[in-house]
Each structure stands twice: as structure tokens, then as C-alpha cells.
Amino acid sequence: MPVTAEKLSHAQEDALQELCNIGMGHATTALAQLMAKTIYFDIPRVSQVRISRVPEIIGGARQVVVGVYLRFSGPINGNILLVFPKKSALMLRQIMTGDNSKKLAFDEYNTSMLKEFGNILAGSYLSVMEGLLKMRLVHSVPWFAFDLASAIVDPILVELGKDADESVVIEAEFFVRETPELKGKFYLLPDNRSVKMMLEAVGMGGAG
């Protein structure tokens, strides 16, 4: 039988939210240095949903978006996905390279830049997790896709769906205040068993 995750208590949700808060704080600081712009992020949201509902959380099939995906592994395993509206992904290029051309294609240069953005964000986020959870984590290279959000999330649901029907989704929106169109969303989807380990590592295991 698939692992039926125990319902998270409010205190456990708060703990996961705070972990994300600290991780995002660190990661956006690292990105701000790269972009010479302050990056803000909204209070993270934690939800526990059926896997079939995850595509709607990520953005459904209404429009094509940019997705940068990484897997991380170690004592805990999971997925990090960044989702950018198309316009934001292109603005990111302008900001990071000074290239103001309106060309909308994602060429190799553009995609590697977005992947590097994901690499830095995920790397600094995970280094904070390593410190807080007292464990070593490694992450994959970033993978790029430009497609429907619900199609992009499929490979992640494949990983999560192998041994569970539910998933914990931790999300945080990040943005540049002086350029409101420049925004994206960070998603952390830990494998089912890892959620428990993350909570135990911060003393929030058990019944909460």
C-alpha cells in the first residue's frame, strides 16, 4: 500500500514554513548579489494535497511557463522547482546581461542563465537546510523546460507518486519590488518519507 502520510499538525506546518523562510532568506540574498537587485519573497505556504491536485497548485495548463527543476538527495530526498512566467524569464536575462532585445526565444544562452539562477537558489537554500537539519545534501544539475506548468510537474509527480498518493508542497513567491513583472515561484516537494525526517531533525516529529 502507498504510504499514507499522517496529516501535518499546525505546529508541523509552521516548522516547515519557517525552514523555508530561512532557506529563502539565504537564497534570495545570494541572488541579490548576482543581480544587484533586492529580491523579496512572500511568506511561504505549506500544503498537503493529493498528488492529482499538485498541477493546479503549480499553475495548471492555462499557459506555458518556464520551469527549472532539480532533485536533491542525501538523508532526505526531494524536488525543487522554480516556475517563471515567460515574461519574467525574459526580463531576468535583461537584468542579468543588459541585453534589451525583445527576442522571446529561449536559446542556449538564455536557458543556461535560467538554470544557473536555479542552481544558485537551490544550492544556497539547501546549504541552509544542511546546517539546520545537520545533514549533507547533494543536488542534481538543473533541468530546463518551457511548457504547460502541469506538464512540467509530471516528472516530479512520478518521483512522488512511486510510494505515495499525497504530497507536501512548500511554496514561496519571489519578486523584485522595483520591477513587479519580475517574479517567480519556488516549490519544494520533499519525498514522502523525507517530510517526517525533516520534522524530526527540528524536533517536530511525532504527533506534533
Partner 1 sequence: MKKVLRVRISEHVVAKDHERLKSYGLGSCIGLVIYDPQKKIGAMAHVLLPNAAGARARPKSAKYASSAVNLLVEELARAGCGGKTLLAKIAGGANMFPEKFNLSCGGPGRSIGERNVRAVKAALARRKVRLVSEEVGGECGRTVEFNPRTGEMIVYKSSGEVKVI
Neighbours of 170 (CB within 10 A): 24
Assign 132 to helix, strand or coil.
helix
Rg (CA), the chain: 17
Asked if 2 touches partner 1 (CB under 8 A), the answer is: yes
Helix (H) or strand (E) holding 68: strand 64-73
The residue (of 43 and 104) whose beta carbon lies closer to partner 1 is: 104
User: Which residues are within 8 A (CB) of 171 and not within 5 positions of it... i.e. 6 or more apart?
Assistant: 44, 45, 47, 57, 185, 186, 187, 188
Among 52, 131, 134, 181, binds partner 1 (CB under 8 A): 52
Residue that is written with C-alpha cell 504530497 in the block: 167
**Residue 141 Cβ vs partner 1, minimum distance, rounded to whole Å:** 8
What are the grid coordinates assigned to 50, written together? 493529493
**Residue 70 Cβ vs partner 1, minimum distance, rounded to whole Å:** 10
**Residue 39 Cβ vs partner 1, minimum distance, rounded to whole Å:** 25
Asked if 157 touches partner 1 (CB under 8 A), the answer is: yes
- Site map 115..154 versus partner 1, x via CB under 8 A: -------------------------xx-xxx-xxxxxxxx
What are the grid coordinates assigned to 77, written together? 530526498
Q: Report the site for partner 1 in 63-122 (rule: CB under 8 A).
A: 64, 67, 69
Residues that bind partner 1 (CB under 8 A): 1-3, 51-53, 55, 60-61, 64, 67, 69, 140-141, 143-145, 147-155, 157-158, 161-163, 165
